[in-house]
Amino acid sequence: MFKKDYRGEQRMSIDILLNKYIDGEPHTCRAVNISRGGMLLYKVFEPDFEHSEVSLEFQLPGSARILRVDGIKLSEHRWAKAHGVRFTRMSEDDREIIDSFLRGELAQETAAL
């Protein structure tokens, strides 16, 4: 039996490395999907200690802009060293870049170059 997915926002698969700041210290992690409201991240180089608030710094494929987003850590899948992050604060420009990426417009712009 399949578990119902209650997340209402469109998600798109990605595979990027990014900086996740915990208490001002950068740690490398890998994003595997993104939506307008958050990301699923896998730990790469990160100490194992409890934290809830994070800042993320990343670049989406097809964009030259570096996005800076604040968020809160959601449930962690310890066996996979993965956790979700819900975005809590970002600039309107960064939100527009994410929306363009989700609509597939950044990939189209890159292909046109």
pLDDT in tens, 42-64: 988 777 767 789 999 999 999 99
Domain presence at residue 4: no
- Residue numbers of the domain that contains 93: 11-112
- Residue whose entry in the numeric block shows the structure tokens 């926002």: 9
Alpha-carbon gap, residue 30 to 89, rounded angstroms: 20
Instruction: Give pLDDT, residue 78.
Output: 66
Q: Is the pLDDT of residue 109 over 60?
A: no
Domain presence at residue 6: no
pTM, whole model, 2 decimals? Answer: 0.81
Domain presence at residue 3: no
Instruction: Give pLDDT, residue 107.
Output: 64
Domain presence at residue 75: yes
Report the number of distinct structural domains present in the chain. 1
| Percent of the chain clearing pLDDT 70 (strictly above) | 80
Domain presence at residue 1: no
Neighbours of 1 (CB within 10 A): 3
- Report yes or no: 67 and 106 within 8 Å, Cβ to Cβ: no
Alpha-carbon gap, residue 31 to 35, rounded angstroms: 11
Report the CATH number that the domain containing residue 85 is assigned in CATH: 2.40.10.220
Domain presence at residue 99: yes
